[in-house]
Amino acid sequence: MKRSPDKYKDLDENIMALRGESSRRLTLDRITDRIEEYENKNKKFLFIKYGFSIAMFLGILFLVFQLTSLTDFNQKGTIQETLIPPTTSSDGGISPSENTESDSEEEPVTEEVEEQIEEDPLEKYGDFYIVEEDYIAINTYAVMLIDEEADEILIENVNIKDFARDHVNVFKEIPDHESERLINAGFPEEYYYYLSATGVQESIGPRGYIQVTGEEIEKVIAEIMEVTSVMVAEGKPGYPMGEEMEELVQQMYELFVELDEYVNGRDS
Amino acid sequence: MLEDYQIITDWYEKYSDSIQSFIYIMVHDFQQSEDLMQDTFFRAYRKLDTFKGESTEKTWLFSIAHNVTIDFLRKRKTLQLFKGVFRETPSGDTPESVYMLKEENNELFLALNELKDQQKLVITMRKIKGFSIKETSEILGWSETKVKTTLHRALPVLESKMKNRGIFYEKVT
């Protein structure tokens, strides 16, 4: 059957035509409900906010009134001792001037923390740390998501050097291997290696967030990806079991040792 | 507030069909595509004050839809990993969740689904939705070069998938 490229548009029009009016209305109703719910929550928040502002305003008025009364009282030449600064406590607490001093002492600590966050990963990890668009996209996305959901910002730095070193251990037979946790939870050991292999695909595969350049390293990574695709059984359900998986794990281990030696040196 | 709501409903009337079709191509489930579109427009309402008109409203809405969809696909991928353990069917498509497309469109739809997400995205934006390279780069958050190269690589892959299905393009552009 021969087709023209206009079929792209046909597909779009076909899908759009199949969307029923009832679906269209129902979705709009749901959007409206969510907006109303959101606005109602905002109203409650605004009520609290305004209530707090009014209370603050009244408090300030009261304070001003108190101070004015005291000043008038003082100007009339009566009890001088009653003019105590409002923030000074009777049991020898901190005076406003002392407070200012302690605040200024804390400032350099904050600056130090900010400097640590702003450390340039490119400078830290050198040539092999190449920030690609995908990497930035993933992190920007993560920052947005976490910021919205939990009012918290998470910045994760990933680099090829640590990745290579960590994965030597992932594919190495160690008695207290992390896989034990999965096995204890009822999963077969192969599942741990299957998950690890999918992680490798996400990290250094053609669409991974770590991308490196260089003839040798690209060759090693291509070999790793070849073994990885067998481990994750691309296009098939499940994943290899038993001896087949053991052999693949051994191959992965050897390849990661090679990668580790390449990026971290033989003495790493 | 009322004005914002009016803007969102106007945009919904204008673009919801096109956005739903984009999401449907990506997720293959019409009920899910309606839910994700709901998220898209609700998010657009909340973020309306950040829309400065530097891009068109359509491009802006599609970029939100893209983020919402990618977020969903990532979550679904994690879920499918666990499904794999219990040997469930790899495809989530059921007759209740998919549209009955015309045969020739269905072949293209299925062939598209065999592509990687990035390839599917770029073909959907450039060829199906007809966005320019600049608009596509704004929506997907990619550089224009990446849009061009990904499309350049994706089209022959799609062509070969179609050939496997016994369908030949007269010309692939």
Q: Say yes or no to pLDDT of B96 above 60.
A: no
Residue A17 located in a structural domain: yes
Residues B24 and B73 in one domain: yes
Burial of B98 (0-12, 13-18, 19+ CB in 10 A): middle
Q: Residue B52: what pLDDT?
A: 82
Identify the domain boundary among B56, B84, B99.
Answer: B99
Domain count along chain A:
2
Half-sphere exposure of A94 (CA within 13 A, CB side): 8
Residue B65 located in a structural domain: yes
Residue B116 located in a structural domain: yes
Residues within 8 A of B (CB atoms), A 218-237 only? 237
Residues B105 and B67 in one domain: no
Quick one: tokens of A104?
A: 């200024």
Q: Residue A157: what pLDDT?
A: 56
Q: Say yes or no to pLDDT of A237 above 90.
A: no
Residues A71 and A113 in one domain: no
The CA-based dihedral angle spanning residues A35, A36, A38, A41, taken in that order and rounded to the nearest 10 degrees: 170
B-interface mutation test, from A2, A4, A6, A7, most B Cβ less than 10 A away: A7
Residues A132 and A51 in one domain: no
What CATH number should be reported for the domain holding residue B107?
Answer: 1.10.10.10
Q: Give the CA angle between residues B168, A234, A253 to the nearest 5°.
A: 140
Measure CB to CB from residue A1 to each of B38, B41, B167 and give the nearest one. B167
Residues B93 and B108 in one domain: no
Q: Say yes or no to pLDDT of B135 above 90.
A: yes
Euclidean distance between CA atoms A202 and A138, whole angstroms: 11
Q: Say yes or no to pLDDT of B22 above 60.
A: yes
Q: For residue A32, give its domain range.
A: 7-75
Residue B173 located in a structural domain: no
| pLDDT band with cut points at 50, 70 and 90 for residue B58 | very high
Residue of A nearest to B66 (CA): A141
Looking at residue B168, the DSSP 8-state letter turns out to be E
Q: Say yes or no to pLDDT of A54 above 50.
A: yes
Residue B78 located in a structural domain: yes
Residues B155 and B134 in one domain: yes
pLDDT in tens, A18-47: 888 888 899 999 999 989 888 887 766 556
Q: Say yes or no to pLDDT of B143 above 80.
A: yes
Neighbours of B151 (CB within 10 A): 18
Q: Residue A235: what pLDDT?
A: 72
Tell which wins on pLDDT, A215 or A76.
Answer: A215
Q: For residue B61, give its domain range.
A: 1-99
Residues B18 and B49 in one domain: yes
Tell me what the pLDDT averaged over chain B comes to: 83
Domain count along chain B:
2
Residues B76 and B123 in one domain: no
List CB contacts (< 8 A) between B87 and chain A: 237-238
Residue B81's nearest CA partner among A214, A246, A198, A216 is A198
Tell me what the pLDDT averaged over chain A comes to: 67
Residues A111 and A41 in one domain: no
Residues B64 and B2 in one domain: yes
List CB contacts (< 8 A) between B116 and chain A: 207
Residues A13 and A137 in one domain: no
Tell which wins on pLDDT, A91 or B62.
Answer: B62
Residues A64 and A132 in one domain: no
Residues A65 and A144 in one domain: no
Residues B19 and B34 in one domain: yes
Residues A126 and A204 in one domain: yes
List CB contacts (< 8 A) between B101 and chain A: 11, 14-15, 18
Put simply, whether B25 touches A (Cβ < 8 Å) is yes
Write down the ipTM of this complex. Answer: 0.83
Residue A32 located in a structural domain: yes
Residues A170 and A69 in one domain: no
Contact yes or no for A26 and B171 at CB 8 A: no
Residue A89 located in a structural domain: no
Residues B87 and B116 in one domain: no
Contact yes or no for A31 and B8 at CB 8 A: yes
Residues B47 and B84 in one domain: yes
Residue A99 located in a structural domain: no
List CB contacts (< 8 A) between A207 and chain B: 116, 118
Residue B77 located in a structural domain: yes
What CATH number should be reported for the domain holding residue B94?
Answer: 1.10.1740.10
Give the torsion sign (CA, B98, B100, B102, B104).
Answer: positive
Residues A118 and A70 in one domain: no
Residues B25 and B68 in one domain: yes
Residues A150 and A32 in one domain: no
Residue A97 located in a structural domain: no
Residue B49 located in a structural domain: yes
